[in-house]
């Protein structure tokens, strides 16, 4: 896809992988809308490259619709959606206080899985009615799963289930949207150096990194953003989930 001038929507773009992707796509000439539940961080992220920061709760239908409409009014129909919004809340099935609260499980699935689908469906509708570009391509949707979709650790039943759902919807979405020339690809990151990890003590960060076969360090958000760029440019990539993890396979705990 020709990236210069293409309208891009990045959810969770106020922080971490989403913020790096937003800045990277803006540097390539995309018109970038940064959506985040935290408006201040969306605006701060967008201000780094003169983009648009928009408040959006991806888990809410009306909020997603309003944010997509605001982005469309400013930049035209979205050609790129990168779903980065997510939460990693952990909780054992049976903890000290008894069984995991159903609401806790539901919240993680609601944001990570239903939120990704919410934005995917809205972007897919917008892309499907946009003008075709080269080879009838109309848009690209990139989701973010996690290697926890395959090797969920103890305490990650909700997170792993939510990310497994994102993996599972990738192929049916790509198959359905193929007629419209819309590709769907999912990235399953390993451990990345984002604000989530920044909060941990330095020695914990170092030991997390040392457990990664090669390179023995945490992933850099720019490496995630570079894969996003490649997916956007490589039209033959579709319906696939790509691990980006330095060969890490997570142990049970």
Ligand X SMILES: NC(=O)c1ccc[n+]([C@@H]2O[C@H](COP(=O)([O-])OP(=O)(O)OC[C@H]3O[C@@H](n4cnc5c(N)ncnc54)[C@H](O)[C@@H]3O)[C@@H](O)[C@H]2O)c1
Q: Which is nearer to ligand X, 12 or 152 (CB)?
A: 12
Q: What is the four-CA torsion angle of 37, 60, 121, 2, rounded to 10 degrees?
A: -20
Q: Residues of 18-53 as b/e, b for ≥16 C-beta within 10 angstroms? A: bbbbbbbbbebebbbbbbbbeeebbbbbbeeeebbb
User: In the range 163-202, which residues lie near ligand X by CB under 6 A?
Assistant: 189, 191-192, 194-196
Contact pattern for ligand X over residues 111 through 130, marking x by CB under 6 A:
x---x---------------
- Interaction between residue 41 and ligand X (CB under 6 A): yes
Q: CA-to-CA distance for 24 and 243, rounded, in angstroms?
A: 20
- Interaction between residue 36 and ligand X (CB under 6 A): yes
Q: CA-to-CA distance for 148 and 103, rounded, in angstroms?
A: 20
- Interaction between residue 88 and ligand X (CB under 6 A): yes
Q: Which is nearer to ligand X, 7 or 37 (CB)?
A: 37
SS3 185: strand
Verify whether residue 214 is a known catalytic residue.
no
Q: How far is the CB of 153 from ligand X (least distance, A)?
A: 12
Residues facing 192 on adjacent strands: 219
Where on the chain is the footprint of ligand X (CB under 6 A)?
A: 11-12, 14-18, 36-38, 41, 56-59, 84-88, 111, 115, 144, 146, 189, 191-192, 194-196
Active site residues: 159
């Amino acid at each position: 896809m020709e990236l210069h001038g293409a309208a891009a929507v990045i959810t969770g773009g106020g922080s971490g992988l989403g913020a790096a992707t937003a800045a990277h796509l803006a540097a390539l000439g995309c018109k970038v809308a940064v959506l985040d539940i935290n408006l201040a961080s969306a605006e701060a992220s967008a201000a780094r490259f003169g983009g648009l920061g928009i408040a959006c709760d991806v888990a809410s239908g009306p909020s997603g619709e309003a944010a997509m409409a605001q982005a469309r009014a400013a930049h035209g129909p979205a050609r790129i959606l990168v779903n980065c919004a997510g939460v990693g809340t952990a909780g054992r099935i049976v903890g000290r206080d008894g069984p995991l609260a159903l609401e806790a499980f539901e919240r993680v699935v609601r944001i990570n899985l239903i939120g990704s689908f919410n934005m995917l469906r809205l972007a897919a509708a917008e892309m499907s009615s946009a003008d075709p570009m080269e080879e009838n391509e109309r848009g690209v949707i990139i989701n973010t799963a996690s290697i926890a979709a395959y090797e969920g650790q103890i305490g990650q039943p909700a997170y792993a289930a939510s990310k497994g759902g994102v993996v599972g919807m990738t192929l049916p979405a790509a198959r359905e949207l193929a007629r419209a020339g819309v590709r769907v690809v999912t990235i399953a990151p390993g451990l990345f150096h984002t604000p989530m990890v920044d909060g941990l003590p330095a020695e914990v960060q170092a030991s997390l990194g040392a457990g990664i076969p090669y390179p023995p360090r945490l992933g850099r958000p720019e490496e995630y953003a570079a894969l996003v760029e490649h997916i956007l440019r490589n039209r033959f990539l579709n319906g696939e989930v790509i691990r980006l993890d330095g060969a890490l396979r997570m142990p049970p705990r």
